[in-house]
Amino acid sequence: MSYCIDATESLGEGLRRIALEQTTAAIADMSIPGPDPGDQIHDFRRRCKKLRALFRLIQPLITEQFAQADAEVRAASSKLGHARDKAVIGRTLQAVAADNVTAEGNILSIGVDGEVAGECTEIMQAVRGRVDAWPLEDCSAAEIRKGFEETYRNLQSELMRASAEPTNWQYHEVRKWAKYHWYQLQLLLHVGPESFAERSEKLRRIGEELGDAHDIAVLLDGETDHRELSEDTKRRLGDRNAALLQSAALRLRDLTRADPQTLGRDLERRLANLSS
């Protein structure tokens, strides 16, 4: 099934199912290499983000288990961070070679170290093994609302910090919370307010802008040899990076004007029918 609570299942059933599906799929990502190792890395790290978004949604319910599960999944994702950055640098260099500074293109094939793949698999197996013990049987709309609002508040806070300190690092923090908010909307899309679909699509586009900006920053600031890039190319990439961040910030400021409680109340009303 999809990364979305179905209208025919209870909140607890849906969330447990999705956690099991995502951890199982992440294990498969590392166990069954695809034709493109770059895609393998991307798929695994994307599942990690989806899981961490889910953890934040149910944090009020799994208070004792949250820190361990979140830290473990974060560690698994980080193990592939260097390989991911190498793939990004290769992709961005391809775009530069084509005189295209939007960082679009195909990820270069990057192998996944067998030992690292094994470590990532073990972590996901451990997380999956504890999912059935999570106290989600009595999951209520009010508790889901708490996790949803807290994630949204953190996005607002990080955006305010980025407005005061517009660095690539700070916008990377914004991007992480925008991703969590987006994935939570995806989880609730079939049962949430109709406006969630529009909000979700806007966040997808913002995420692409922030992602392209981050990829350029990785190339310009990463531990790589930039001698093949002319000063003019570096300047154009820097300008493109700044333009992407500015556009994403404007879109996000507009999208985060809503009060967290307003969004939360709307969501809770719609979820109430599934909580029993």
Question: The domain containing residue 71 runs over which residues?
Answer: 11-274
Low pLDDT (below 50) residues in the chain: 101-109, 223, 276
pTM: 0.88
Q: Report if residue 3 sits inside a domain.
A: no
- Please say whether the beta carbons of 213 and 102 come within 8 A: no
Q: Report if residue 110 sits inside a domain.
A: yes
Q: Note the pLDDT tens digit of each residue in 120-146.
A: 999 999 999 999 999 999 889 999 999
- Residue 73: give its domain's CATH number: 1.40.20.10
Rounded Cα distance, 108 and 110, in Å: 6
pLDDT value at residue 191? 83
- Please say whether the beta carbons of 30 and 47 come within 8 A: no
pLDDT value at residue 42? 83
What is the three-class DSSP state of 139?
A: coil
Report the number of distinct structural domains present in the chain.
1
Q: Report if residue 2 sits inside a domain.
A: no
Rounded Cα distance, 224 and 89, in Å: 8
- Amino acid occupying residue 209: E
Q: Report if residue 120 sits inside a domain.
A: yes
Half-sphere exposure of 56 (CA within 13 A, CB side): 27
Rounded Cα distance, 103 and 101, in Å: 5
Q: Report if residue 161 sits inside a domain.
A: yes
Q: Report if residue 4 sits inside a domain.
A: no
pLDDT value at residue 234? 84
